Chain A
Amino acid sequence: MKYKDYYSTLGVERTASADDIKNAYRKLARKFHPDVSKEAGAEEKFKEVSEAYKTLKDPEKRKAYDQLGSHRSGEEFRPPPDWGQQFSQGGFSFEDLDLSDLFESLATGRRGGARSGQRAGLAGQDYEVTAHITLEDAYNGSMLDLNLTAPEYDAEGRVQRVPKSFKVRIPKGATEGQRLRLPGKGGKGMHGGRDGDLYLNIALHPHPLYRVSGHDLYLDLPLTPWEAALGATIEVPTLAGPVALKIPAGTRAGQKLRLGDRGLPKPHSGAGDLFAVAQITVPSVLTDRERALFKELSEASSFNPRGHFAGQFDGEKSHAH
């Protein structure tokens, strides 16, 4: 079993008082709680802090923890030979056991657990994981391999780490932030209690072309000045394959052209839209012929895109006098 230094996790001395431990936990919990923190790795950090506090806030568990001795975090160790008898009425297997499971077992034993004959149904724990999928997977639906290691109680009420593998079918229509449920795939229920559920939080990998807003997609559509001015029919990529899009004459930069129902499918029916956002681009290097044509256009055209600035300059001049 690997040792975890709960005192250093909370940043307190081994001699810290119960109040010091509580204050240190509250400070760290405020910083890393997954409902309030956006720091990278906050959820994992909060689990560590919470695990340490659950053990150290309980005087009996803290005493049991202290008697495991002091080791380096991550160091392999075995509890002293009489440790199990002293704190749990015997019966621990330390193989494949995590330190947190050991103290969870201790709590279960104290509550009565399976060993004292309690037989009330106890629902299994719900688990929650984040599933990262591509936009193409969200569009088409996909199969996902999930491998977890989860704590489970055996018939004697002992906790063991059990590897679990699932193949999960993600239905079409998932998008960023959505949650899906895998009924009965959480922790095993005890004494007839129902099995817990596994919740999947969907996170989409960034896509090189499309940006996602709900079930709508946004695509930057670069246009040449003459395509924007004269109009054109151009090929645009969509998740279902390329489509021809008619660009109206006089299209301005930033204008959005809607391709109805070409976004992500919605869970039960319908689909979001795909918006092509016009961007007018110019060649960075001009040939002699292009330069001549642009020059001719500039001389022939009376178009002034900054006409509305004129009054502003007049106003400023009169204000200055």
Chain B
Amino acid sequence: MRIEVTEAVWIEESESLVAARIASRLQEDLELDAHAVAVALALIERIRRLEAELRDLKARSPSP
């Protein structure tokens, strides 16, 4: 069977679109109200930023 090749394309999503998608998932899956979603989003964004900083620091630090 011949399988056609599919080209993957870049996604350029604004941060607000990504946040809106996460908010919608949280609301649906965890049955959260709007206030709880707002708190969860703020914490998720903070974790994401800290993880990025940690990844960056690990990359810059020489291996022991």
Which residues of A are interface residues toward B (Cβ below 8 A)?
A: 26, 29-30, 33, 35-36, 46, 50, 143, 165-171, 176, 178-183, 185, 199-200, 211-214, 216, 218, 220, 253-254, 256, 267-268, 275, 277, 279
Contact = CB atoms under 8 A, between A and B. Distances in A.
A69 B31 CA distance: 30
10 contacts: A36-B40, A171-B8, A180-B8, A180-B9, A180-B11, A181-B9, A182-B7, A211-B59, A213-B56, A277-B61
Contacts of B40: 35-36
B54 to A, nearest CB: 11
Interface residues of B, number: 26
Contacts of A220: 62-63
A216 B11 contact: no
A35 B32 CA distance: 14
B60 A277 contact: yes
Interface of B: 3-11, 13, 22, 25-26, 29-31, 40, 44, 55-56, 58-63
Contact of B11 (A168, A181, A185): A181
Given A165-B3, A169-B7, A216 B30 contact: no
Contact of A167 (B4, B58, B63): B4
A216 B58 CA distance: 13
The majority secondary structure among interface residues of chain A is strand
A254 to B, nearest CB: 6
Nearest to A277: B62
Contacts of A253: 62
A254 B62 contact: yes
B46 to A, nearest CB: 12
B62 A170 contact: no
Contact of A169 (B6, B13, B60, B61): B6
B30 A168 contact: no
Contacts of A35: 22, 25-26, 40, 44
B29 A50 contact: yes
Contact of B29 (A33, A185, A216, A279): A33
Nearest to B18: A179
A170 B9 CA distance: 8
A218 B59 contact: yes
Contacts of B6: 166-169, 182, 185
B26 A33 contact: yes
B59 A212 contact: yes
